[in-house]
Amino acid sequence: MANRRSALKNIATGTAGVLSLSDVFAANKKVLGPKLNGKINHSVCKWCYGKIPLDTFAQECKQMGIASVELLGPEDWPTLKKYGLTCALPNGAGMGIEKGFNDPALHDELVKSYEDIFPKLKEAGYTTVICFSGNRRGMSDYDGMRNCAVGLRRLMPSAEKYGVTVIMELLNSKVNHKDYMCDHTAWGAGLCEMVGSEKFKLLYDIYHMQIMEGDVIANIRQYHKYIGHYHTGGVPGRNEIDESQELYYPAIMKAIVETGFKGFVAQEFIPKRDPLASLKQGVQICDIA
- Report if pTM > 0.75: yes
If one counts every other C-beta atom within 10 angstroms of the C-beta of residue 158, the result is 16
Distance CA 27, CA 33 (A): 10
With residues binned 3-state (H G I as helix, E B as strand, rest as coil), the percentages for the chain, rounded to 5, are 50, 10, 40
Distance CA 244, CA 4 (A): 24
159-205 pLDDT, tens per residue?
999 999 999 999 999 999 999 999 999 999 999 999 999 999 999 99
Report the top-level CATH class of 36-286. alpha beta
Whose CA is closest to 126, among 86, 78, 170, 67? 86
Domain ranges of the chain: 1-33, 36-286
If one counts every other C-beta atom within 10 angstroms of the C-beta of residue 84, the result is 9
Distance CA 197, CA 66 (A): 30
| pLDDT at position 35 | 80
199-222 pLDDT, tens per residue?
999 999 999 999 999 999 999 999
% the chain with pLDDT above 70 = 88
Q: Mean pLDDT in the chain?
A: 91
Q: Which helix (H) or strand (E) holds 228?
A: strand 227-231
Tell whether the model's pLDDT for residue 30 goes beyond 60. no
If one counts every other C-beta atom within 10 angstroms of the C-beta of residue 234, the result is 25
